[in-house]
Structures are given as structure tokens and as C-alpha cells.
Amino acid sequence: MELPYRSSVGARVLITGMFLTASTASNAATSDWPGYLGPNRNSISADSTPLADSWPEGGPPELWSKEINPGHGGASIVDGKVYLMDRVDGEKDVLKVYDLKTGEELGSSDFESVGQVNFPGARGVPTVTDRHIFATGPMGVVAGWKRDDLTLLWSVDIIEEFGSEPLFFGYPVHPQPYKDLVIVSTNAQDASIIALHADSGKVAWKTPGLYGSLSTPLIRKFQGRDQILYHSNETPENPKEGRQSLAGLDPETGKILWRYDGFPMNLPIPPPVVVDDETLFVTGGYEAGAQLLKFSSGPKPKISVVEKFKWGSQICPPVVHDGHIYFLTHENATLKKKSTWSEVGLNCITVDGKSCWNTGAEPMFGRGSMILADGKLLIRDSYYGKLYLVEPSAQGYRQLAVANPFNNKRRDLKRWAPLAISEGLLVIRDEREIKCLDLRKP
């Protein structure tokens, strides 16, 4: 059926009888993975489901597999349902819903979104709340649905509405819910970050002057309050006049609370990582490296650099666990220079900046994905496509298991999608296929 739309964006919905269940509790289940980087936006699962310490020779059991269109957008999991953005290149974006345990498609909703970007396909992760689903497409359309029946409530073409500059790599921004708002970046000078009302899509506030980015404005508690942490790029119209920066904003109003421009880089992708209430870890590819930053207290904090690191993570955000920070440092520059391989790989540092170890190119993780579940690191290598189970330890790299779930022998493909896990079931995608693997302890 045809549904309401804004900005000349049409929509169609297909729902099977099994879809109409949905709990009304707001991400109540501790096993849920309701959006980008999980329930607390820190790449860590809150689920207590024990994971196996080893895998069979053929890898963990596969529950199901589905062919999808090319892309590298990740999944969300809520109440036993998998939410994924797919794309028919040049035509439309498609929200799909699957049963976590069987892979049965429970429903879908698509809207017209013409055009093409470099590296075709979806790249966003849907955000699922008690009543809504929010997602962005690579052409810059942001949409909100009713969660219970996939009715499209609103959609906004941010290029058309705010005069945004199209991003060369498309819009990979993952919407961030906050109370009755949903927050996204736009790449517009006069509205760099905007907050939309969740039910209507109408603008609640907009913040100018931070410019565009491939990094998602992430809402975290920092310095005793909720903040939007945003790593922005230069001004889209004239890069020489803009300035890249890290900023903290008030999610209620969009007011800029502080700004730090001591970490310049091209194309920010990983969001800042909260280490503790006074410390952020910021990292990026394109030879930007990484910095550990300390903030003083007060309304205008003084920001000092605790430690700098030569190499950073190009795509995957670091994971903070048990007094240590783990981050992947292969990037475009290092993949092309074997002389650098001993310097990169999976890195482990202390939360006060002391380097503990790095893996180099053995194993070769590339620009992979990483999350923590049941106290174990799950790392998806983007170079060969392998999946690793790793015990985090300050003493050195401790590999528990490895598998190649897609059996793809081609190197360095676009395996950049974030991982998602719920009840010990891992949802992982390749460029054209999505799978669910059973990682539970027998």
C-alpha cells in the first residue's frame, strides 16, 4: 500500500502475519543490539549468554543465510528480530526484517531514493526503539517508521531540505535517538547536526558550523552529562577555510559545549570513544593516527593530550575493556606498504596510554569490525573475510578460534559492516550475503 511521504519520497510496505508481535519495552531485553555499536554505543554486548571458547573445524554452526544486494550496512537485533537496510542501486532503499533464529523475512518497507554513490549499496545501521525504527540511506534520506507494523511515518531528504553537499562515499550516518528526538548529521553548513521529532520528522533544533563527516554523532554520557560526541570534517564548500574538529553538544538543544581541533584528519569515520568520565580516545585512518585526550572539569574544559599514536583505526571504533583499549590499525596507507605491517594490526594499550602489544599482519585483520561479548572479542577481518574469537589480555594476543564463514578467497573486499549479536547469535554480512552464526556454548 502507499504510505505518507515527505520530500517526494514514496514508500511501499510488505508485512507477513508473523511480524505483528513487538514488545513495547524500550530495548528492555539485555540481549538486544538495538543500533550502531550496541545497547550502550560502546561495541559491547550486555547479554550474559555464554559463548563457546572454541569452534568446530568448519566454524560455528550456521543457522541461516540470505542473499542481499551489494553493500556494507550492518544489522540491529531487538526482540528476536533482525533489522537491516538494503538497497536497489539507483532506485530505492529497503528496510528488511528477519526472524533471528530462522531467517524468515517478516516484513519490509521501501522508499524511492534515486542516484548512485561510490561503492554502491547500504551502509547504515537501523536504530530500533520501543516504538520506532530510524535509518538513513546512502543518498541522504532519513526515515522513521512505526516499529509494530512498519508504517512509514516520515522521511526527509537532507540534501533537498538543508542544502547539504552530497558525500562522495554516501551517507553512512546511523540515527541516534534521544528522548523524543532523533539526531543525525547532514553535511550542511547551516545545519551540520539536526534533531528531528521522532513522531513527525519535523526539525527540533539545528547546529551550524561543524560541517560534514562520515562519523556518526554519537550520544554518550561524558563529564557527568549526556553529550553528542561528533568528529567532523572540513567545510564542504571550501576545505581550506574550514576546520576539522571534535565537539561535544547538548542533545536537548544542540548547543556546542566544547570543541577541540588538535586532531586534524581527512574523512573521520570512527566516533570518539569514552574511556572514562574525563578521557576520550579519538582515532582515524588516512595516517591521522590516534590520541588519548584528558578533559578538566567545568563548563569550558581544558583538553590535554595524554598520548599520541602513529596509526589509528580507519573504520572500526575501539573497544574499552578491563582497563585497556583495543583497536585495529590497518588502513589504506599501511595495506599498501608491507614495511609498516609490523607496526599495526590489533593494538592493546592501557587506559592511561601505555602500549602493551600489537599483532602486526599475523593475523591480517585489515579494516575489520570488532565487538565484545561474554568478555571475548569478536573480530571480523576485512582482508580475508575470517572471523576471530579472541580473549582480551594485556599479556599478548590470545586467539581462541578462527573461521571463514563466507569461504571467500578474494582479498581486501568491502567487508566493513559492523557486527551485531543477541542471545549468542551473531549476525554478520559479506557484500552480498547475510548470515546468522550460533556462537553459544553447547
**Mean predicted confidence (pLDDT) in 69-93:** 95
**Mean predicted confidence (pLDDT) in 200-215:** 92
Q: What is the pTM of this model?
A: 0.93
Nine-digit cell string for 270: 570512527
Q: What is the pLDDT of residues 360-385, one digit of tens each?
A: 999 999 999 999 999 999 999 998 89
- Ordered domains of the chain (ranges, CATH): 11-438 (2.130.10.10)
* Cα 139-412-286 angle, rounded to 5 deg: 65
Nearest to 132 by CA among 92, 78, 85: 78
**Radius of gyration over alpha carbons of the chain, in Å?**
20
Model pLDDT, residue 213: 86
Confidence band for 169, pLDDT divided at 50, 70 and 90:
confident
Confidence band for 24, pLDDT divided at 50, 70 and 90:
very low
**Mean predicted confidence (pLDDT) in 339-354:** 96
Q: What is the pLDDT of residues 97-138, one digit of tens each?
A: 999 999 999 999 998 899 888 888 999 999 999 999 999 999
What percent of the chain is predicted at pLDDT more than 90?
76
Confidence band for 20, pLDDT divided at 50, 70 and 90:
very low
- SS3 track for the chain: CECCCCCCCCEEEEECHHHCCCCCCCCCCCCCECCCCCCCCCCECCCCCCECCCCCCCCCCEEEEEECCCECCCEEEECCEEEEEEEECEEEEEEEEEECCCCCEEEEEEEEEEECCCCCCECCCCEECCCEEEEECCCCEEEEEECCCCCEEEEEEHHHHHCCCCCCCCCCCCCEEECCEEEEECCCCCCCEEEEECCCCCEEEEECCCCCCCCCCEEEEECCEEEEEEEECCCCCCCCCCCCEEEEECCCCCCEEEEECCCCCCCCCCCCEEEECCEEEEEECCCCEEEEEEECCCCCCCEEEEEEECCCCCCCCCEEECCEEEEECCCHHHHCCHHHHHHCCEEEEECCCCEEEECCCCCCCCCCEEEEECCEEEEECCCCCCEEEEECCCCCCEEEEEECCCCCCCCCCCCCCCCEEECCEEEEECCCEEEEEECECC
2 pLDDT higher than 50 = no
The number of angstroms, rounded, from the C-alpha of 185 to the middle of its chain's C-alpha atoms is 14
Confidence band for 34, pLDDT divided at 50, 70 and 90:
very high
172 vs 279, which has greater pLDDT?
279
What percent of the chain is predicted at pLDDT more than 70?
91
279, 291, 292 from 306: Cα distances, Å: 9, 7, 5
Q: What is the pLDDT of residues 378-436, one digit of tens each?
A: 999 998 899 999 999 999 999 999 999 998 777 777 889 999 999 999 999 998 999 99
Choice among 10-24, 329-343, 369-383 with the minimum mean pLDDT: 10-24
Model pLDDT, residue 8: 34
Q: What is the pLDDT of residues 282-326, one digit of tens each?
A: 999 999 999 999 999 988 899 999 999 999 999 999 999 999 999
Model pLDDT, residue 9: 44
**φ, ψ of residue 289 in degrees (nearest 5):** 80, -145
199 vs 213, which has greater pLDDT?
199
* Cα 31-94-166 angle, rounded to 5 deg: 105
Confidence band for 1, pLDDT divided at 50, 70 and 90:
very low
Confidence band for 11, pLDDT divided at 50, 70 and 90:
low
The rounded distance, in Å, linking the Cα atoms of 378 and 391 is: 9
The rounded distance, in Å, linking the Cα atoms of 124 and 298 is: 35
Model pLDDT, residue 308: 97
Model pLDDT, residue 7: 35
The rounded distance, in Å, linking the Cα atoms of 332 and 87 is: 26
State the chain's mean pLDDT as an integer. Answer: 90
Confidence band for 143, pLDDT divided at 50, 70 and 90:
very high
